[in-house]
């Protein structure tokens, strides 16, 4: 390989999966639903986020709770932290948020800090209209260790961008929990830049809302970085939950591991999981694995699951993906019931079992109980619905 070719390779090449972004709203045509990136999304239910809905709502309250040493600031449009993750909007909604966000804030964890409890940002929606847009930048300084929890509750129409900058050698866990009321619409874009030898864990828990679509993307600022993306979702009747992931292996010796698990129940429950991984030519010696599993609990649900792996170098340690969507396993239910366990209890055990290893991997003790309660709540709905059949 010549030096020139090498240098060219360092340029951002265009992935066929991911067009180059742009900050200009007008560079992004209003989607029609035929575009690859929009074909699964019920545009009509986005309340105009993708067209021209006014985004200046203030119907989302923010509450911040952070251990000492962590700075949480409201920031202005011109603040240099905006865009510092390398984030460039790849669709119209993200570009609109960039320009029109009514709230911009930064969470900064200083270098070498080791937080003894998570930073918790709770965004509470109080009204569906007008829509609201927020832009957040979370920066974990070099060699810091921190967990940041973003919780979304209440009713709102929200478009948000979240940038995450993980400094060299830092360990950052960001947990996003969509625990919205049934009528919320949330389109989120999250982008992480992972420093040299840094470890970034993104946990995306989506339960509530009527339409939730999250684009979660990561790139590497240096070699040795690790990305772990975990997702847990539960779609009920009529609910659309969509996750679009893109891990861009832009540096050698980096790792990514993606596991998303979801359960679906009720008429019209729809989940979409798109897992894109691009291994660039420079990204030698990398390892990647992505996995999506769906458990379909009732008739009338649809789970779309599309893993995509683009490999531009053969010099890698490993790359793989898996995707499986299955119904309740009758043999498992029979086995449990043959021991006297009633059907609804047996179903609960199987679903808990399905999510269990994932919940364990989230590994944020403060959240474990809350997550277990939320799964329980979702299951209670299912069981009530089942009993009514």
Binding positions for other proteins, rule: CB under 8 A? 329-332, 334-343, 345-346, 349-350, 352-357
Nearest residue (CB) to other proteins, 189 versus 261: 261
In this structure, how many other beta carbons lie within 10 angstroms of the beta carbon of residue 170?
Answer: 27
- Distance of closest approach, residue 271 Cβ to other proteins, in angstroms: 19
- Distance of closest approach, residue 350 Cβ to other proteins, in angstroms: 7
Nearest residue (CB) to other proteins, 69 versus 353: 353
- For residues 351 and 377, give the distance between their C-alpha atoms in angstroms, rounded to a whole number: 12
- Distance of closest approach, residue 239 Cβ to other proteins, in angstroms: 23
Nearest residue (CB) to other proteins, 353 versus 365: 353
Sign of CA dihedral 276, 281, 282, 288: positive
Q: Name the residue with tokens 């009720």.
A: 266
Residue 315 buriedness (CB in 10 A; 0-12 / 13-18 / 19+) = exposed
- Distance of closest approach, residue 298 Cβ to other proteins, in angstroms: 17
Considering only CA atoms, which of 219, 62, 28, 54 is closest in space to residue 130? 54
- Distance of closest approach, residue 354 Cβ to other proteins, in angstroms: 6
- Distance of closest approach, residue 325 Cβ to other proteins, in angstroms: 16
Nearest residue (CB) to other proteins, 53 versus 336: 336
Residue 318 buriedness (CB in 10 A; 0-12 / 13-18 / 19+) = exposed
DSSP string, 9-70: HHS-PPPSSS----S-GGGSPPP-S-SGGGTTS-GGGGTTTTTT---B---EEEEEE--TT-
Nearest residue (CB) to other proteins, 88 versus 350: 350
Considering only CA atoms, which of 44, 46, 40, 43 is closest in space to residue 303? 40
The CA R_g of the chain, rounded to the nearest whole Å, is: 21
Nearest residue (CB) to other proteins, 35 versus 343: 343
């Amino acid at each position: 390989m010549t030096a020139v070719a090498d240098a060219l390779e360092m340029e951002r090449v265009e992935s066929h999966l991911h067009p180059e972004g742009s900050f200009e709203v007008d560079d992004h045509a209003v989607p029609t639903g035929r575009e690859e990136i929009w074909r699964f999304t019920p545009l009509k239910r986005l309340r105009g986020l993708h067209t021209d809905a006014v985004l200046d709502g203030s119907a989302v309250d923010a509450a911040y709770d952070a251990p000492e040493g962590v700075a949480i600031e409201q920031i202005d449009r011109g603040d240099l932290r905006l865009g510092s993750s390398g984030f460039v909007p790849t669709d119209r909604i993200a570009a609109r948020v960039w320009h029109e966000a009514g709230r911009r804030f930064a969470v900064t964890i200083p270098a070498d800090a080791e937080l003894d409890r998570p930073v918790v940002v709770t965004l509470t929606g109080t009204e569906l209209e007008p829509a609201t847009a927020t832009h957040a930048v979370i920066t974990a300084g070099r060699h810091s260790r921190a967990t940041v929890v973003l919780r979304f509750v209440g009713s709102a129409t929200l478009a948000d961008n979240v940038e995450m900058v993980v400094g060299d050698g830092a360990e950052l866990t960001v947990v996003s929990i969509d625990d919205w009321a049934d009528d919320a619409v949330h389109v989120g874009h999250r982008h992480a830049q992972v420093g040299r030898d840094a470890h970034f864990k993104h946990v995306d828990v989506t339960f509530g809302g009527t339409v939730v679509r999250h684009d979660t993307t990561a790139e590497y600022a240096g070699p040795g970085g690790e990305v772990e993306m975990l997702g847990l979702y539960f779609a009920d009747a009529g609910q659309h939950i969509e996750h679009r992931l893109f891990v861009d292996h832009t540096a050698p010796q980096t790792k990514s591991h993606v596991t998303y698990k979801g359960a679906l129940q009720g008429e019209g429950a729809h989940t979409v999981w798109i897992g894109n991984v691009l291994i660039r030519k420079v990204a030698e010696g990398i390892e990647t694995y992505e996995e999506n599993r769906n458990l379909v609990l009732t008739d009338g649900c649809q789970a779309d699951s599309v893993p995509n792996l683009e490999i531009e170098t053969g010099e890698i340690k490993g790359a793989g993906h898996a995707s499986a969507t299955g119904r309740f396993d009758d043999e498992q239910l029979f086995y449990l019931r043959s021991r006297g366990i009633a059907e609804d209890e047996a179903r609960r055990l199987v679903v808990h079992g399905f999510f269990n290893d994932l919940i364990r991997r989230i590994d944020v003790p403060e959240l474990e109980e809350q997550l277990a309660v939320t799964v329980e709540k979702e299951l209670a709905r299912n069981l009530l619905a089942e009993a009514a059949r």
